[in-house]
Amino acid sequence: MAIVGLIGAGHMGSGLGWALRAGGHEVVTSLAGRSARTARLVEAAGLRVVARPADVLAESGVVLVVTPPGAAVDAAREIAALASSVTARPLVADMNAVSPATAAASAQVITAAGFGFVDGSISGPPPTVRPGATLYLSGPRAAEVADLRWTHARPVVVGDRIGAASAVKMSTASVYKGLMGLMAQAVRSAAAHGVLDPVMQDLGTSFGTPYEIALASTKAHRYVAEMREIAQSQAMTGLTPALFEAFAEVWSDVADHPLAAGNPESVPRDITAHQVADGLSQT
């Protein structure tokens, strides 16, 4: 059974590694340059740690790349730069939340270095948080990633065109994260006007709970680049990029507030709308 490597074993990456390990795969990653939090997540997921990213490539048949959207192409370049130090060329699946154009740029870098490439995206939270994430995959070799022994996650091949899986993510994330951006703004505005309680009663939980808003806020720094990727994706189809360029500004502002300083796993389930508003109003 193929050893699976992870480049970027943070919250989501470790969750995918755990899902694969539960299916019987050995999963390896490197903690070089990574935080103590990442080390804890990797240990909890039961992943095997190797010294260097080059060792991940050398040992793996498939490598999943799970980085912040703004780091996707840099990650591809780092992998390509390691090509001369490994004899094998594992299949690289870029699972990042990027536009089809960015996915194509990463593919060009990866394939020029002799690696295979699969375009991928993830819908849903890490399987360690809630099982059931959907993994969208595209490209001529997408079936090879789909055929890994996934548990707690569902692979879906959407075609053989690089960029198709990323286009799915850009469309779904525009709704999910756009709604969370709207809710964050509504909570902040309502609190400033002194009408938070009736606003939350009127909205109910249809568009997001306080917990979900707080959870999204802890990822705000990642969402900034993702909103710009969505804007680029929509501009490619002739739609205005202005809406999601504005959402990038919303999440950039959220990222500067105390609520955004926490980790997703540290958000209390019973956090209130007033606590969310406080965490997004203090500087």
Report pLDDT digits (tens) over 236-274: 999 999 999 999 999 999 999 999 999 998 999 999 999
pLDDT digits (tens, 9 = 90+) for 76-126: 999 999 999 898 899 999 999 999 999 999 999 999 999 999 999 999 999
Query: Torsions phi, psi of 94, nearest 5?
Result: -85, 110
Contacts with 237 (C-beta within 8 Å, 6 or more apart), sequence order: none
CA distance linking residue 145 with residue 150, whole number of Å: 9
Give pTM, 2 decimals.
0.94
- pLDDT above 70 covers what percent of the chain? 100
One-letter-per-residue 3-state SS of the chain? CCCEEEECCCHHHHHHHHHHHHCCCCEEEECCCCCHHHHHHHHHHCCEEECCHHHHHHHCCEEEECCCHHHHHHHHHHHHHCHHHCCCCCEEEECCCCCHHHHHHHHHHHHHCCCEEEEEEEECCCCCCCCCEEEEEECCCHHHHHCCCCCCEEEEEEECCCCHHHHHHHHHHHHHHHHHHHHHHHHHHHHHCCCHHHHHHHHCCCCCCHHHHHHHHCCHHHHHHHHHHHHHHHHCCCCCCHHHHHHHHHHHHHCCCHHHHCCHHHCCCCCCHHHHHHHCCCC
pLDDT band at 128 (very low <50, low <70, confident <90, very high): very high
Residues 6+ apart with CB under 8 A from 151: 19, 20, 22, 23, 127
Give the Cα separation of 107 and 73 in Å (integer).
Answer: 9
Task: Kindly list the domain boundaries of the chain, sorted by start residue.
Answer: 4-162, 168-279
CA triplet 8, 126, 183: central angle to 5 degrees? 110
pLDDT for res 191: 97
Give the list of residues 6+ apart from residue 204 with CB closer than 8 angstroms, or none: none
Angle subtended at Cα 215 by Cα 48 and Cα 25, rounded to the nearest 5 degrees:
20
Residue 135 and residue 146: Cα distance in Å, rounded?
8
Q: Which two tokens stand for residue 51?
A: 């010294």
206 confidence band (pLDDT: 50, 70, 90): confident
Confidence label for 283 from pLDDT (cuts 50, 70 and 90): low
Taking all residues of the chain, what is their mean pLDDT, rounded to a whole number? 96
- In this prediction, residue 29 carries a pLDDT of 98
pLDDT at position 1 is 77
- Name the token pair of 170: 């850009």
Q: Taking residues 203-209, what's their average pLDDT?
A: 92
The CATH number fitting domain 4-162, selected from 1.10.357.20, 3.40.50.920, 3.40.50.720, 3.40.50.2000: 3.40.50.720
Amino acid of residue 132:
G
Of 24, 68, 112, 113, nearest in space to 225 by CA? 68
Specify the pLDDT at position 116. 97
Task: Provide the token pair at 172.
Answer: 């779904």
**Span 10-33, mean pLDDT?**
96
pLDDT for 256 equals 96
Mean pLDDT of the 35-39 span: 94
